[in-house]
Amino acid sequence: MSVLIFADQEDGHIKKTAYEALTYGTKVAEQLGTTAEALVFGSVTVDLATLGKYGVTKVHHANNEALNTFDAMVYARVIAEAVQTTGADVIVFTHNNTARAVGPRLSVRLKAGYVPAATTLPDTSNGFVVNKVAFSGKAFAKINITTPIKIISLNPNAYKTLAGEGSAEVVSISLDVPASTVKVTATEKVTGEVPLNEATTVVSGGRGLKGPENWGMLEDLAHALGAATACSRPVADSDWRPHHEHVGQTGVAISPNLYIALGISGAIQHLAGVNRSKVIVVINKDAEAPFFKAADYGIVGDVFEIVPKMTEEVKKLKGIA
Ligand SMILES: Cc1cc2nc3c(=O)[nH]c(=O)nc-3n(C[C@H](O)[C@H](O)[C@H](O)COP(=O)(O)OP(=O)(O)OC[C@H]3O[C@@H](n4cnc5c(N)ncnc54)[C@H](O)[C@@H]3O)c2cc1C
């Protein structure tokens, strides 16, 4: 019996959200009176023993060239084999695109109950009850996983990373990797920005910004705050901003500590992707804009007057010239 945490890596680095999953999985193991171990795929540039700082005792490293390319069907098969090899009965993912694609497939293979987008540690006092967000973030559901093997994917930013002392034993795990039927013809990477789903602060713009030429103002504020940038769907549909920045029901769902919405009305489809943010700040010139109902702080006013002043104040506070 153990907890196995799938630690995502990108370009050889363990992702920030994977550290949250490692801390969370270690806590789950503590609750169950067992150990937590990590599973890492592909070539890495970090010393995997350092994952021990997050509580795992062992890191199973499948350093197979074929696993550097993501294929959900291959990953599901290989992770299923790793679960059998390690004897794990709780598997923890970060709730990202990998978990969305692999989680259900793994669940079928292992006949395991799967709770996606978990927000809390399981309540093991009477079963194995995990909280998850439901109905596009408008409600929470408590799910009792009753199968012997249990799969959880943890919402990004739902659990704080805790690093202590410790070093994990790194073992090479040999897994049977089937040939992939997926051929990657091109990879486009967004560089030089904070990735949206990992960002703790997000500055987002809507149609109220009037046009792409005004995004410099938003980017200045984001830069001063060290934030990622996002937008409403019509902004991406009008090609003012790239589609990977579109948040909402049909875009990316995010849960940063701080979400600042500039000139966004707060339609229900937009809120569906951002209402799990810890603090929401809305700036809109219309006092009746629906977003104010979801806001923790609101400013009724013109973004073109307010945002440059905010940026100036943030820069002063941070001592940025
Ligand atoms: C099936 C479906 C799925 C959808 N999915 C999504 C989704 O995932 N994400 C999403 O965002 N939308 C989605 N939409 C669209 C959604 O319904 C709204 O139309 C959209 O969110 C509105 O975008 P907006 O707030 O930028 O624009 P608007 O609704 O036009 O709002 C602009 C706001 O800016 C304010 N404003 C104007 N000028 C200024 C100024 N100078 N200073 C301050 N404020 C100002 C206005 O008062 C207004 O509130 C979806 C719609 C459908 C039907």
Residue 192: the pLDDT is 63
Residue 100: the pLDDT is 95
Local confidence band at 48 (pLDDT 50, 70, 90 cut-offs): very high
Local confidence band at 256 (pLDDT 50, 70, 90 cut-offs): very high
DSSP code for 244: G
294-313 residue pLDDT tens: 999 999 999 999 999 999 99
Q: What average pLDDT is seen over the chain?
A: 94
Report residues whose beta carbon is within 6 angstroms of any ligand 1 atom.
206-208, 232-235, 248-251, 263-265, 267, 269-270, 273, 283-286, 289, 302-304
Compute the average pLDDT of residues 84-112. Answer: 97
128-183 residue pLDDT tens: 999 998 877 778 899 999 999 999 999 988 899 999 999 999 999 999 999 998 88
Compute the average pLDDT of residues 266-281. Answer: 94
Residue 19: the pLDDT is 97
Q: Give 100-103's long-range contacts (Cβ < 8 A, gap of 24+).
A: 100/153, 101/72, 101/75, 102/72, 102/75, 102/76, 103/151, 103/153
pTM greater than 0.85? no
The distance from CA 67 to its chain's CA centroid, rounded to whole angstroms, is 21
Indicate the top mutation candidate among 217, 238, 264, 283 to test ligand 1's pocket, ranked by most ligand atoms within 8 A of CB: 264
Three-state SS for 52?
helix
Q: How far is the CA of 202 from the centre of ligand 1 (A)?
A: 17
Instruction: From the CA of 210, give the closest atom in ligand 1.
Output: 38
Do residues 39 and 81 make contact, with C-beta atoms less than 8 angstroms apart?
no
- Is the pLDDT assigned to residue 279 strictly greater than 80? yes
Residue 191: the pLDDT is 67
Indicate the top mutation candidate among 196, 202, 232 to test ligand 1's pocket, ranked by most ligand atoms within 8 A of CB: 232
